[in-house]
Amino acid sequence: MAVKESSNPTVEIDKLSFTYPGIDGHPPPGSTPLIDDFSLTLHSGDRCLLVGSNGAGKTTILKILGGKHMVEPNMVRVLGRSAFHDTALTSSGDLCYLGGEVLGVDLSWRMHKASDGQRRRVQIWRSSFVQVLLLDEITVDLDVLARADLLKFLKKECEERGATIIYATHIFDGLEDWPSHIVYVNKGKLQLAMPMDKVKELSNMSLMRTVEQWLRKERDEERKRRRERKANGLPEFEKQVEGSRVTGDPARAAARAVNNGWAAGRLHSTVAGEENFGFSTNRVLRQ
């Protein structure tokens, strides 16, 4: 997404590949990357909406960007620095990931607590002059007014202060004119990254209907694949290896992609465990 070519990028993801480590700290045998060949460039002032179905990898991408999972330093640069290795990025407040479990406040808690949590997080951002803000479905428990105010505030921060925001959400209410860019991810792969103006040129539907159309197509194609597998006498669902996207044969382990997530992540457990097997992060939080 190369708008404002003249300024330095604030977020650079270059052929990102990632697999959650198994309990031995290594990618499970036979695994293929959960996030695969994912590249994206954003600049100061960009407000990027990250969309995709449940389990597509949005939270994983945001957490990698937030320095919570180790990847090769050249794969993810935030403000020109490695998000995982340069701990000053987050400790200085230049980079901030806000998700459901930040500060130990789970958004599934009672309304008033969650709302307090949300306010506190925004206050943190405001007071620490965050330059790159990663928002992971943070408005689920906000009422209509609070959400509208927050979105307005965030937009202003980008326009006036040049912050960069990536916002992963399934809630499109009030977002029609919010993002400057939209990024669509499916099964850990980048499907589309483009400025909102371009999206509006290509589709005369609302943002929600446009995204709905993408996700419907994705689901229909997946169903077709499953039907074909079944018709060919194969199991309908491919065998899933924990923490990765697919598949099967441990003999292929030697040829698997280089693991970039072998070390446990910072602040959060990243070990693929039985309790979260097969669930997206938000699903785990909702349990």
Ligand X SMILES: Nc1ncnc2c1ncn2[C@@H]1O[C@H](COP(=O)(O)OP(=O)(O)OP(=O)(O)O)[C@@H](O)[C@H]1O
- Judged by the rule CB under 6 A, the positions of this chain that interact with ligand X are 20, 34, 52, 54-60, 242-243, 270, 272, 276, 278-283
d(CA 193, CA 133): 18
Query: Could you tell me the smallest distance in angstroms from the CB atom of residue 99 to ligand X?
Result: 9
Closest to ligand X by CB, 20 or 38: 20
d(CA 50, CA 192): 10
Query: Could you tell me the smallest distance in angstroms from the CB atom of residue 189 to ligand X?
Result: 12
d(CA 79, CA 238): 39
Query: Could you tell me the smallest distance in angstroms from the CB atom of residue 70 to ligand X?
Result: 13
Query: Could you tell me the smallest distance in angstroms from the CB atom of residue 162 to ligand X?
Result: 27
CA-derived radius of gyration, the chain: 19
Closest to ligand X by CB, 160 or 274: 274
Closest to ligand X by CB, 45 or 57: 57
Q: What is the DSSP letter of 28?
A: P
> In a 3-state reduction of DSSP, which class is residue 50?
strand
Closest to ligand X by CB, 20 or 125: 20
Closest to ligand X by CB, 11 or 241: 241
Query: Could you tell me the smallest distance in angstroms from the CB atom of residue 8 to ligand X?
Result: 28
